[in-house]
A and B are shown apart, each in its own frame.
Chain A
Amino acid sequence: MEFTFWDILRNLLLAARWTLGLSLAGFVCGSSIGLLLLLARISPRKPIRLGAVFYIELFQGTPLLLQLFLVFFGLPLIGLDVQPWMAAGLGLTLWASAYLGEIWRGCVEAIHVSQWDAAAALGLHRAYQFRLVILPQAARIAVAPTVGFLVQLIKATALTSIIGFSELLKTSNVITNATFAPFTVYGVVALIYFAICFPLTRYSKYIERILTVG
């Protein structure tokens, strides 16, 4: 069965669904943990703060590829049966949570301390200061860099092919093997990633522009 160019394109586009699915899962789960990390990072209690710093430094200071290997080879050691999609999802979630937590911390710290003071002067408990006054303002600044990170996450899913998750890049390796046409196949793969990421990048820049001026 010979591959036509249309076969190559069609199969790659179908595989791109898995890339998008994994990206979404990683983003949603990573955001949940990232939020907790943010709260820990700005916590007045030193051990909690340091724990968050430790976590962030660990995941930002080591290669994502090795983090994926550690999850993939590590979980079976504690008796869990790990499928590639689980290791891919968990690995990307932990990695994303560290970056999102740090990005959001930057946004929260960009809010001037007078906002916290004013909220405290109104008699609000610290948790409410955060939720009612700081968070809405920080969230506004956070949209652009968060969307920018989503682009990084989508590109990062390509590494999960190495631990055997069948997304766009792994499928392209199989097709390259069947067609002996790496220039065409990897070229099309690059274009598909570009088609997914570029609109998000533009959107992020657009948000940054209107939320900074307005």
Chain B
Amino acid sequence: MTSCLLPRRGLAAVLLSGAIAALGWTTARADALSDIQKAGVLKAGVFEDFPPFASAGSDMSLHGYDIDVANALATTLGVKLALVGVTGQNRIPYLNEHKVDILLSVGWSTEREKVIDFTAAYAPYYIAVLGPHALAVPDAAAMAGKTIGVNRGTLEDTSLTKAAPPTADIKRFDNYNGVISAFLAGQVQLIAVGNDVGASVLARHPSIEPEQKFQLMSSPDHIALNKNEPAFKKTLDDVITKMKADGSLNKISLQWLQKPLDPKDL
């Protein structure tokens, strides 16, 4: 019974996926800024497991650098803020499908520039390799033969893949929680994350005593929005400029990164 159905099943699967791929129109939308103001809510995509930029407090509400910036944006626009949890994998599709209006903690890359727009940078972010104090890893070549955890689909993934020697065993997880938990459980020897995320891990004094080994690249955080939204982009950029000028961004940096905001980091 099953064997005679197999060719039919396989063919159906291929035809179905081909047909669906050939479709894919998008509905026309009005300008993002007016849409948001009419709806009265700004939907911001953030990670939920990404301290100190965004992580959960004991009442399960999110707090962090990104949350404070998103709040400031919503206040300026005069709308409510709705936070949407995203993963490194689905966040750009979410933005393109208008499930969210903006994304936070987005690093710039030429591939991304093709599909989304970026505001000015609002937070420093250095991608670094972290490891236990006892393990000597002075540079990228020293990663040979070691296991490294990274969040799949992020710039950490791209830069690590480029820099790592062929014998390095890169383990890609779905989300930052998997990466950090695997690292703390000793399931991977090293991880590639932002240096402030690493500092956040270190601040909880885990027994393996992690430290930053070396930096891969500087990738300051931008806010991402959909392309062809000049009014929205200008509004967001204006808010960031204002926050830099009046010291509020510096205050956020002091609170969450324990250091003042240095313009050359951005």
A153-198 interface (Cβ within 8 A of B): 162, 164, 166, 171, 173-178, 180, 182
Contact B27–A79 (Cβ < 8 Å): yes
Binding stretch for chain A, among B48-56, B114-122, B137-145, B227-235:
B48-56
Interface size on A, residues (CB 8 A): 31
Partner of A176, one of B24, B26, B181: B181
Contact A176–B20 (Cβ < 8 Å): no
A38-59 interface (Cβ within 8 A of B): 50, 53-54, 57-58
Contact A81–B99 (Cβ < 8 Å): yes
For the complex, is A1 an interface residue (Cβ under 8 Å from B)? Answer: yes
Ranked nearest first, the 4 interchain pairs of A and B with the lowest CB-CB distance are A1-B57, A177-B49, A177-B177, A7-B58
Q: Which residues of A contact B55 (CB under 8 A)?
A: 174, 177-178
Q: Which residues of B contact A83 (CB under 8 A)?
A: 99
Q: Which residues of B contact A213 (CB under 8 A)?
A: none
Closest A residue to B60 by beta carbon equals A11
Which secondary structure characterizes the binding site on chain B?
Answer: loop
Asked whether A174 and B177 contact (CB < 8 A) given A1-B59, A182-B185, the answer is: yes
Q: Which residues of A contact B175 (CB under 8 A)?
A: 173
Partner of B23, one of A77, A173, A178: A77
Contact A180–B2 (Cβ < 8 Å): no
Contact B9–A171 (Cβ < 8 Å): no
Contact A2–B58 (Cβ < 8 Å): yes
Contact A180–B59 (Cβ < 8 Å): no
Closest A residue to B63 by beta carbon equals A1
Closest B residue to A73 by beta carbon equals B93
For the complex, is A21 an interface residue (Cβ under 8 Å from B)? Answer: no
Partner of B5, one of A57, A78, A176: A57
Closest A residue to B4 by beta carbon equals A50
Q: Chain A residues in contact with chain B, CB under 8 A?
A: 1-4, 7, 11, 14, 50, 53-54, 57-58, 74, 76-79, 81, 83, 162, 164, 166, 171, 173-178, 180, 182
Q: Which residues of B contact A180 (CB under 8 A)?
A: 180-181, 184, 204, 206
For the complex, is B87 an interface residue (Cβ under 8 Å from A)? Answer: yes
A188, B175: Cα distance in complex, Å? 21
For the complex, is B264 an interface residue (Cβ under 8 Å from A)? Answer: no
Contact A174–B56 (Cβ < 8 Å): yes
Partner of B20, one of A74, A162, A178: A74
Q: Which residues of A contact B134 (CB under 8 A)?
A: none
Contact B9–A58 (Cβ < 8 Å): yes
Closest A residue to B58 by beta carbon equals A7
Q: List 8 A-B contacts (CB under 8 A).
A: A76-B93, A79-B27, A162-B174, A164-B85, A177-B55, A177-B181, A178-B51, A180-B184
Which secondary structure characterizes the binding site on chain A?
Answer: helix
Contact A166–B57 (Cβ < 8 Å): no
A57, B24: Cα distance in complex, Å? 29
Q: Which residues of B contact A164 (CB under 8 A)?
A: 85-87, 90
Contact B97–A81 (Cβ < 8 Å): yes
CB distance from A7 to the nearest CB of B (A): 4
Q: Which residues of A contact B176 (CB under 8 A)?
A: 177
CB distance from A211 to the nearest CB of B (A): 31
For the complex, is B30 an interface residue (Cβ under 8 Å from A)? Answer: no
Q: Which residues of A contact B177 (CB under 8 A)?
A: 173-174, 176-177
Q: Which residues of A contact B48 (CB under 8 A)?
A: 174, 177
Partner of B24, one of A1, A4, A14, A79: A79
CB distance from A77 to the nearest CB of B (A): 5
Contact B49–A57 (Cβ < 8 Å): no
B153-193 interface (Cβ within 8 A of A): 174-178, 180-181, 184-185
A85, B130: Cα distance in complex, Å? 36
CB distance from B189 to the nearest CB of A (A): 18
For the complex, is B242 an interface residue (Cβ under 8 Å from A)? Answer: no
A175, B49: Cα distance in complex, Å? 8
For the complex, is B98 an interface residue (Cβ under 8 Å from A)? Answer: yes
For the complex, is B21 an interface residue (Cβ under 8 Å from A)? Answer: yes
Q: Which residues of B contact A171 (CB under 8 A)?
A: 60
Contact A3–B23 (Cβ < 8 Å): no
A177, B98: Cα distance in complex, Å? 28
